[in-house]
Amino acid sequence: MGGYVTETIRREPVAQTLEENYMPYVMSVILSRAIPEIDGLKPAHRKLLYTMYKMGLLKGNKTKSANVVGQTMRLNPHGDGPIYATMVRMSRGNESLLYPYIDSKGNFGKVYSRDMQYAASRYTEVKLEEFCELLFADVDKGTVEFVPNYDGTDYEPLLLPVKVPTILINPNRGIAVGMASNIASFHLEDVINATVALLKSSKANLQNIIKGPDFPTGGYCVEDPQVMEQVIEKGTGTFRLRAKAQIIPKENRIEITEIPYGTTVEAIMDRIIAGVKEGSYKEISDVRDESDLKGLRLTIDAKRGTDLELLLAKLYRDTPMEDTFSCNFNVLINAYPKQLGIRHLLLHWLDFRMDCVRGRLRYDINLDEKKLHLIRGLEQLLLDIDRVIALIRATPKEKDVVPSLMREFLLDEEQAEYVANIRLRNINKEFITSRVSERQALEDKIASNKLLYGSDKRIKKYIEEELKEILKKYRKPRKTVLIEPIEELIEEEEEMTTESQILLLTRENYLKKIPQSQYDPNQEQRLKDGDDVRYELEVNEWGDLLIFTTAHRVFKLRVADIESVRHTELGLFLPHELEMEDGEETVLALATNDYSGYVLFAFERGKVAKIPLSSYATKTNRRMLVRAYDDSQQLVRALALDKEAPLLFSRYERQKENWLLIDSSLIPEKTTRHSQGVNVMRIGKTGRLTDMEPASSSANLEKFRSKTIPSAGKVRRPFE
């Protein structure tokens, strides 16, 4: 066996390759999968609901979910799994939506639970909710455009002619390529009132109408007028959500019955249990998930004497019991993604709804004019019905009946065809008179519809009345309660002493916390044999201690959670407390009150990463972060700076030592924690960076200064 293998390498610009191969996928994800349209639905939602509508499930009985999934594959070929998952989220049983589209029977899981999985489609049953009447009314009357399905065997609507702005009354999330959409849900009454206000003036003050979101899982939302204004005008902003909790003093417990939208009971429990193990919640004796068919309930038992108000405040601070919802209102408008605030979103919806109303009016006018035309033909027969019968009987061939009627009674072909198709039993004066009597009603209806069709003002009034009727029928109480802004500092922090704390960390990783008033630097501290203090740090009670290790991790301890000790005690053994790995050593310890300043990491090949300390701040009380600094290079030294300062670097190469003095401001900061940094000191193949340290202002060091980087520095002579 022999021969040669030839390989053809095609050279072309990367931009061209991306445009030809990647761009079609990107556009497909954006336009046909992830981003909702003005009817509030993604394509997968619309295909499923329309299939159920065609199956007669708006008025009929429930059918097996598997049946619906199979039928939907005629419009959506993405597989039964994704289709059923879409159905689950839209069901009443899952509680994901304020106004569910699907009436469900069986286990559909819960949006607030990670572990409550939904049953297989063969065990569950579904039909459309009554609310879907607002989605499908007049769908077959020219209100929306229909297009062929993926294989051309059927037709489906591009949009549904929704009578209410569903885009804002049910939450919707989607992740496309290069963009995402995260739309909050709002109370139906607020949305309809805002829409009516915009019908009267596009500049209406919506902040007086919509003051906050309304989520299916309930809970609380902190009112923030500035955030709400941003959401109304730009479609961006972050809402602060809280769980609904009740303190039961007699039983010394806290019961949680509603949680922020987007989190789960298990996530809250996991964080509480982890906190108990860490010692953050010494007041808690037990935590149980008691959710059942009646709804969600998470019970937290506290020890005797616990301040339940303070415990609840800590839980809000440290766990997903308090969470945020970041709005990003990206919507497809005429096949183009746009980020819109509530105002412009509703204005676009009103344009869409007016087009739907005009489409239905146009359909009705054409249909009624056709009926009127046929009735006018019947009028010609009313005077001599016997003559009509005689003419039909006397016509020898069937194909000649229509031409004979047209000729004898001055009818057009459409009218004559209609007369010829009337059953013999109906060719009588009573039938024809009753049909002719409909003429005036039809003429009035056509005139009324034409008047409405030709007037934007009348159409807007029609939509306003329609929305008010919808509100009467579907109004229900708000689920998410809006509350006043919350004080940033919880009671525990208000009670904390303002006295500074001294933190001592030894080489053997023993940690001591001593109030400054009790600390005497001349007093001998109890240490293990051979151990000594490596770090002496001063920080406020509400500050944080950060410990960077050789395993490229950073551990974070709240100073308030560290117990104070006397000078005669060894202190807290961190490797055990933090569950550090064998051989994991501390490379830097620092304390901060506000996460200002920088951390610098110097690596053996001359690179330095300057990371803002704020990059290590987290919204949740996470105790450990991985990849705290770059793990692809050998670390030489880590250093914390409160402000920009001179730095002295040393390099050893070819039995010579070079020094380099620079200002830290020359080193650009990198927001990515594991950044490789920038070249500061040039290093040869056999050399290495040996140290980095803060430099004192000394005339002797100025000759090593460089105003640019990278630099090789200058050779240090003996005795310098």
Catalytic sites, residue numbers: 123
DSSP-derived 3-state class of residue 653:
strand
Nearest to 611 by CA among 621, 623, 599: 599
Q: What is the side-by-side strand order in the sheet with 244-248? A: 244-248, 253-258, 298-302, 284-289
Report the C-alpha gap between 677 and 602 in whole angstroms.
9
Q: Which residue, among 265, 321, 268, 276, has the nearest Cα to 302 in the 3D structure?
A: 276
User: What is each CA distance from 106 to 45, 64, 119, 294, in whole angstroms?
Assistant: 20, 10, 7, 15
DSSP string over 366-422: HHHHHHHHHHHHHHTTTT-HHHHHHHHHH-SSGGGHHHHHHHHHT--HHHHHHHHTS
**Residue (of 112, 487, 159) closest to 332 by Cα position:** 159
Say how many C-beta atoms besides its own lie within 10 A of residue 495's C-beta.
Answer: 11
User: Which residues in 312-335 are b (16+ Cβ under 10 Å) and which e?
Assistant: bbbbbbbbbbbbebebbbbbbbee
Nearest to 159, CA basis, from 39, 33, 47:
39
554 within 8 A of 562, measured Cβ to Cβ = no
What backbone phi and psi angles, to 5 degrees, belong to 413?
A: -65, -40
Element (H, E) at 327: strand 322-328
CA nearest neighbour of 185 among 209, 167, 198, 207: 167
Q: Which of 623, 516, 508 is nearest to 571 (CA)?
A: 508
Max CA separation in the chain (angstroms)? 134
Phi, psi dihedral angles at 401 (to 5 degrees): -65, -50
